[in-house]
Structure 1
Amino acid sequence: MHFYDGSFGGMHLIWWFIWLALIIWIFFIPTDIPYQRTKEEKPLDILKKRFAKGEISKEEFEESKNLLNSDN
Structure 2
Amino acid sequence: MQIRNSEYHTTTWFTAEELLAFNWNQVFHYEDETMNGEKIMEFVDYAECGKTFMEVVNRLYSRKNPSDIRLIIAFDN
TM class, shorter-length? under 0.3
1 or 2, which has the higher strand percentage? Answer: 2
Rg (Cα) greater in structure: 1
Q: Normalization by structure 2: what TM-score? A: 0.24
